[in-house]
Amino acid sequence: MGGENEEFEVYDHSLTKDGVVEEYYVHFHGKLYALPANEVVIIEGKTHPSDEEHGKKPKRKRKK
């Protein structure tokens, strides 16, 4: 994809059921790539200010 020391901006990410980042999605030369989180080195991190901005949905009650 890119050189070993090439930097990319993360477009999105996916989480496991436990809330651990599983994959990062990055744009590179006009294409979207999925990168396994265990192969990515984070050089600058950002956090989400709120659950609403991240798109977290409210918990739903289960019908029995």
pLDDT digits 0-9 by tens, 27-50 = 888 888 999 999 887 777 666 665
For 7, residues 6+ apart whose C-beta sits below 8 A from its C-beta are 43
Q: Would you say 25 and 10 are in contact if contact means Cβ atoms under 8 Å apart?
A: yes
Is residue 27, in this structure, part of any structural domain at all? Answer: yes
Is residue 4, in this structure, part of any structural domain at all? Answer: no
Is residue 35, in this structure, part of any structural domain at all? Answer: yes
Give the residue, 31 or 4, on which the prediction is more confident.
31
Is residue 1, in this structure, part of any structural domain at all? Answer: no
Domain count, the chain: 1
Is residue 59, in this structure, part of any structural domain at all? Answer: no
Tell me how far apart the alpha carbons of residues 25 and 10 are, in angstroms, rounded to a whole number. Answer: 6
Is residue 30, in this structure, part of any structural domain at all? Answer: yes
